[in-house]
Structure 1
């Protein structure tokens, strides 16, 4: 409803105005439009990204996706260091600029680490089990799950079977646990085993079984990238290296400033 949208928009502004990181979209100003002493509209001035969402872009090579998701992981790590979690990472909330820049957007559902939500908030196909069960403190591992489900979609073209599938796939909500997912390497032969295992670990049902934080995710993503680069060099040889498209040549971020 309208009131819920206004609350989420205000929350987006309150968090994103504090951001100062290359992979997190910042907001600058909030204007409230009031009628009869009630807020009817919110106008937010925010950083402009000239590009498309990951969902709009569609298919990308594994190299390009690793470059994008490394940046997303660094952005989430910075957000966590500020004491917040995003709780709604999905393809539509990852912007990729025409110049290759990557931005996490939409902090409307974000909250403090350890916050307990009284109602279900998140996006089907990417939502973590603890978000559906509710009344459980959310932490970095909730974002790890959302991140893993998004990466699963990006490298396989299929949605991860969460406890809350989207309406087009829904046959009922099973709070006891999702159906078993196929490892990405079985669906896409270009996915190295190290990356496939990371994705599956991120999407473990029990938060304690997932990577503890984004720093661990980053380390394992960089390992997968190293393996992929090594395999690519072996398969192609030096004569045709560097011929990937611009989206597929995104390198691993280094020296990212803290938020």
Structure 2
């Protein structure tokens, strides 16, 4: 709560304050009229490249702001992304976030979105958020995360081996695939930076600079 209260960015859900009684904690949050992006994704199956690029660009901007303040989110997923009344994306739920300049060792987050270094119980840094952007970009375009498997063991194996394949349907542009493969790199130091994401031709060609997805 302390981390989220300290953050003020158009693509981060504001936490204005909190109070508690003997049993509960009440959080005073910005209202996100559109609800979870997860629900939109499940309803549509997958998103258009323009919507997907707009959401990825919004996330990259918000995460760049977080990383400048030494905050790693560590649990970016569709259930933790909300939409306001104009369809702008808002990052919510900072329950796994940490504010630190040193590498971390806690394994946390959600199975399908974990970076290889977390699966292998190695130290991690901001690059875990960049990996998750690659997972989300894939999920936005194909409707499911790339390393999904029947068992946790198989999912972990696919993540560690970066066992990445692109289905033939729906049709997705080569530029979008290029961005995804630039983020889903096992060596965290070689993943695309957030700035490189924002400069990527696919983002420039497709993303709405205003971040508004209602009319896309």
- TM class, shorter-length: 0.7 to 0.9
Aligned pairs for 1:67-216 within 5 A: 67-139=54-126, 141-161=127-147, 165=148, 168-172=150-154, 173-174=156-157, 177-178=160-161, 180-183=163-166, 186-189=168-171, 191-211=172-192, 213-216=193-196
Distance in 1 separating the partners of 2:72 and 2:169:
30
Q: State the shift of 1:137 in Å.
A: 3.5
State the number of aligned residues: 206
- Specify every segment of 5 or more residues in structure 1 that has no aligned partner in the other structure, as ranges: 1-12, 35-39, 229-249, 255-259
RMSD (CA atoms): 2.4
Match of 1:217 among 188, 191, 197: 197
Any conservation in 2 of the 1:126–1:160 contact (CA below 8 Å)? no
Distance in 2 separating the partners of 1:50 and 1:176:
34
Q: 1:54 and 2:40 equivalent? A: no
Q: 1:252 and 2:209 equivalent? A: yes
Structure 1 segments, 4+ long, off by >6 Å, are none
- Specify every segment of 5 or more residues in structure 2 that has no aligned partner in the other structure, as ranges: 212-216
Higher relative contact order (CA closer than 8 Å, sequence separation 6+): 2
Q: State the shift of 1:98 in Å.
A: 3.4
Any conservation in 1 of the 2:116–2:159 contact (CA below 8 Å)? no
Q: State the shift of 1:199 in Å.
A: 0.7
Cα displacement string for residues 142-162 of structure 1 (whole angstroms, at most 9, x for unaligned residues): 10001110111110122221x
Q: 1:78 to 1:57 in 2, by over 3 A?
A: same
Secondary structure in 2 aligned to 1:43?
A: strand
Distance in 2 separating the partners of 1:218 and 1:99:
22
What is the TM-score of this pair, normalised by structure 2?
0.84
Higher Rg? 1
Q: 1:27 to 1:101 in 2, by over 3 A?
A: same
Cα displacement string for residues 162-221 of structure 1 (whole angstroms, at most 9, x for unaligned residues): xxx57x55354439823621146x4432x221221111111111102211x31111111x
Distance in 1 separating the partners of 2:102 and 2:88:
31
Q: State the shift of 1:115 in Å.
A: 4.2
